Amino acid sequence: MNAAAVASPVRIGVVGATGLVGTEMLRILEERSFPVAELRPYASQRSEGRKLPFGGDEVICQVLKPGCFDGLDLVVVDVDDPLALEWVPEAVRAGARVVDNSAAFRMDPDVPLVVAEVNPEDLTDLPKGVAACPNCTTMVLVTALAPLHRAAGLKRMVVASYQSVSGAGQPGMRELEDQWTKGDGEWEGFRRAGTAGSLPSGQVWSKPIAGNVIPLAGSVKEAGYTSEEWKLVKETRKILHDDSIAVTATCVRVPVFVGHAMAANLEFGRPVSKAEAVELLSDAPGVILVDDGDGAPTPLEGAGIDPVLVGRLREDPSRPGGLDLWVTGDNLRKGAALNAVQMAEVMIGR
């Protein structure tokens, strides 16, 4: 397909269309009036034939099988890594360009890793026909970091994340809801759970998440850091095109349904004052600065909206020239579905 055809209708497939992110993706395609000539939603066998509302009509879920991508221009993928590794190359062989929301291709040097407001120019060269979306935590954070990095060169970042249960998909949300119910939503019930085990550990996390925080998001990898923490390290460097940035992270799962948040301490190649940071962030695409002295945006305030929210912006008294900030955003929307659609829009020259 010719990317210069700005408003030409596109034949698009969405793999994982019935998941949390896939459902949001269909909604965003419709909201943004994406020029759809044909939409093919793909899901698991249990959803085959299921009708999904789209564009005032309905589309019918298909299953992945040989030839299922034939005739498509674009395919957006939101499934687990093994499925992405199997089916993304099939979509490319069928002649489609692919936006992949899994982690399968993110660190491939021939696959650009893109945040639409930060490095859309990387989409002009797709050696493998694939572009990757970052992890939802990285995406929210880097949207706020990019204008500061361009101005002063980020050198070091210490970040703690506070990640909602929807980052673990529908099972994570169900587990939190179930545990809230069993704990009666009262602090005494959760207090007893810590000693008497009145709350179940669940299937997603080995410890109760309701009324609790779990300082271990992802699986433990090298040096004791988790997969989520290493994603923040490696993906930040790749998106900002600077492998010298020093990053250390602690990722925490919190009993919030939707919205990831990060507290970041930043050091730059030169001193950056709060006043300069305010100026840079006030005009940054995809960012709303909530900094009126007590600006402290919450995940609930960021849920369901496109921009990320930045607050608690302050100079670091222990490191002259350093900054602290807080950023939060909807991990299902900007952290995944919206960015994928924005990338697709860039690909078709929109």
Residues annotated as catalytic are 136, 260
What is the spatial distance between Cα 350 and Cα 345, in angstroms, rounded to a whole number? 5
Amino acid letter, residue 256: V
- Cα–Cα–Cα angle for 260, 173, 232, rounded to 5 degrees: 30
Q: Cα–Cα distance between 256 and 269 in angstroms, integer?
A: 35
Q: Show Cβ contacts of residue 290 under 8 Å, excluding neighbours closer than 6 positions.
A: 296, 297, 301, 309, 310, 311
Please provide residue 300's backbone torsions phi and psi, each rounded to the nearest 5 degrees. -65, -35
How far is Cα 165 from Cα 146, in angstroms, rounded to an integer?
26
Question: What are the phi and psi torsion angles at 254 (to 5°)?
Answer: -125, 155
Number of Cα atoms under 13 Å in the Cβ half of residue 89: 7
Instruction: Name, in order, each residue with C-beta under 8 angstroms of 5's C-beta and a sequence gap of 6 or more.
Output: 348, 349
Can you list the alpha helix ranges (DSSP code H) found in 153-226? 169-182, 187-196
Query: Which DSSP helix (H) or strand (E) runs through 315?
Result: strand 308-315
Question: Which residues in 172-195 are b (16+ Cβ under 10 Å) and which e?
Answer: bbebbeebbebbeeeeebbeebee
